[in-house]
Amino acid sequence: MIVFLSIVLTIYSLTNTYIFFRGYYAIASSRDSRILYTILFISLALTFIAGKFLEYRHSTVLSDILNITGGFWMGFMLYGFLFLFLSDITGLLLRIPGIINSQNIVEYKKWSFLVATALSILLIAGGFVNAIIPVAKEYNIRIDKPAGEIRSLRVAAVSDIHLGSIIRKRSIKKLSALLEKIKPDVVFLLGDIVDGELGPVLRDDLLKYFTAPHARYGLYAITGNHEFIGGAERTIPYIESKGIRVLKDETILLPGGIQVIGRLDRDSFRYFAKERLPIEELMKDIDHSKPVIMLDHQPLRLEESERNGVDLQLSGHTHNGQMWPLNYLTRKIFELSYGYLEKGKTKIIVSSGFGLWGPRIRSGSRSEVLMINILFEGKREASE
């Protein structure tokens, strides 16, 4: 964790330093304007760090504001760096034929900085609007196994809510309204329900606004990596106090013999040195003649689910990159970073998630709730 934080802070510092000096020499022409620019830039660059520090000590509205502001600044860091770096490469190429020279280089850097800033702000604004309008993403799948008298199952699956300083009461009410429209038989929360520190959640008891009255078969959740960041010993009991059963390497039976396996998140080892059970051990008592649904926050080693006869796996974690062009990076990291995949007889769905981490910006994906209609077929229908 120390190594990870060191790398993150190094990248954060270098990116801010690069953007700072590009702006400093491009638009600050007088001593007073340079002082003002420096104060403003450093203040914005420190907002996210200050917000997280204050949130850790004691969650307040101030720490929320700093986290929200810092999140938008992180979005500016990403796009500001990309556009400015591209402009610098372009400037070097234009020097070859002499289009950019010592007489106009200052003017070029000034306008490239202003254009990069304007484009970044437009992307951030569009990404913010996109982020606050969630959608229901529908899948219709068939599992070729009987489930007793249950012919079909309507599942709502929600990953990566990230309740905290940024995702608050209005968002959780919007999620509940979506679930009211979907009217699921069962609700699965696929990890990262809480963003990190529990303080911002407890301050307004945010989960009390989460409702799913039509879920006749219950509400079930699994842990994500963020449940461990703020301390699972506090986070999990809070979630369960709201009537949500958290599955920690456990299997539950739904009507019709439908088996739902909830895996402990793989990062439990990183934070608590607690290894989760291998799939083989989790499934040693599974009845493979009945449907098997696995909930696993991070969509890794998908071949293990296929090899062990999982019928349907539901995951999240990736946010589908959240901000363009990071979605291209997640596609390289994960075999399936978003959407639907069949591996043999195993069907896998990865959600982009409902909430967000860091910037309240979605420029490369949509905020969503999964609406999965499962049709069970098997020997029962064949005999009829």
Q: Quick one: pLDDT at residue 103?
A: 85
Residues 6+ apart with CB under 8 A from 382: none
Residues 6+ apart with CB under 8 A from 156: 179, 182, 184, 186, 187, 188, 212, 215, 369, 370, 371, 372
Listed ranges 197-206, 226-235, 307-316; the one with the highest mean pLDDT: 307-316
- At residue 378, does pLDDT exceed 70? no
Helix pair angle (61-95, 2-27), 10° resolution: 60
Choose the weakest-confidence range: 140-144, 195-199, 331-335. Answer: 195-199
Alpha-carbon distances of 295 from 65, 89, 284, 320, rounded to whole Å: 34, 45, 17, 18
- Region 294-302: mean pLDDT is 96
Domain segments of the chain as ranges: 2-131, 135-383
* 220/110: higher pLDDT: 220
Q: How far is CA 346 from the centre of its chain?
A: 24
With bands split at pLDDT 50, 70 and 90, how would you rate the model's confidence at 166? very high
Q: Quick one: pLDDT at residue 273?
A: 63
- At residue 28, does pLDDT exceed 70? no
Q: Quick one: pLDDT at residue 230?
A: 79
Q: Quick one: pLDDT at residue 364?
A: 86
- At residue 46, does pLDDT exceed 70? yes
Choose the weakest-confidence range: 23-37, 231-245, 337-351. Answer: 23-37
Q: Rounded distance, CA 284 to CA 190, Å?
A: 23
The proportion of the chain whose per-residue pLDDT surpasses 70, expressed as a percent, equals: 96
Could you tell me the fold of the domain covering 135-383? Purple Acid Phosphatase; chain A, domain 2 (3.60.21)
Average pLDDT, the chain: 91
- At residue 382, does pLDDT exceed 50? no
- At residue 42, does pLDDT exceed 70? yes
With bands split at pLDDT 50, 70 and 90, how would you rate the model's confidence at 167? very high
- At residue 100, does pLDDT exceed 80? yes
